[in-house]
Amino acid sequence: MRRFFPSLGWCLALVLVGLGGAAVGMSVAWAIPETASPYANLQIFSRALAHIELSYVDEVDQDALIYGAIRGMVETLDPHTAFMDPNEYRILTDDTEGAFGGVGVEIQAVDGWLTVVGVFDGTPAARAGLRVGDRFLRIADANARDLRISDAVRLMRGKPGSSVKVAVRRANVDSAMELTLTREVIEIEPVESKVIAGGIVYVRLKTFAETTTRELRRVLDEAVVQSKGRGGVRGVVLDLRNNPGGLLDQAVLVADEFLVSGVVVSTRGRYGALLSEAKAVRAGTRPEWPLVVLVNRYSASASEIVAAALRDLGRAVVVGEPTFGKGSVQTVIELPDASALKLTIARYYTPAGRSIQAAGVTPDVSIADSLLDSDKDAAPSVSEASLERHLPSKRSEGQPPPELDGDWKAAIEAADVRQVQKALFEGDALARQAVALVQARIAVGE
How many residues are recorded in the chain?
Answer: 446
Catalytic residue among 206, 326, 342, 394: 326
What angle is formed at CA 83 by the lines to CA 305 and CA 18, rounded to 5 degrees? 25
Angle of CA points 271, 274, 278, to nearest 5°: 150
| Residue 282, CA atoms < 13 Å, CB-side half-sphere | 0
Distance from C-alpha of 264 to C-alpha of 261, rounded to nearest angstrom? 9
**Which residue type is seen at 429?**
A
Q: Coil, strand or helix: which one is 439?
A: helix
**Nearest-angstrom CA–CA distance, 22 and 302:** 12
CB atoms closer than 10 angstroms to residue 177: 15
Is residue 15 packed enough to be buried (19+ CB in 10 Å), middle (13-18) or exposed (0-12)?
A: buried
Pairwise CA distance, residues 339 & 177, whole Å: 36
Q: Of 78, 95, 256, 312, which residue is the catalytic one?
A: 312
Tell me how far apart the alpha carbons of residues 56 and 193 are, in angstroms, rounded to a whole number.
63
**312 catalytically annotated:** yes
- 304 three-class SS: helix
Catalytic residue among 193, 301, 328, 393: 301
Concatenate the DSSP letters of all residues of 253-274 into one string: HHHHTS-SSSEEEEEE-GGG-E
Among 412, 442, 430, smallest CA distance to 371 is for 430
Which strands sit side by side in the sheet containing 191-196, from one edge to the other?
191-196, 200-205, 235-239, 291-295, 317-320, 365-366
Is position 326 annotated as part of the catalytic site? yes
Q: How far apart are CA 406 and CA 445, in angstroms?
A: 11
What positions carry a catalytic annotation? 301, 312, 326
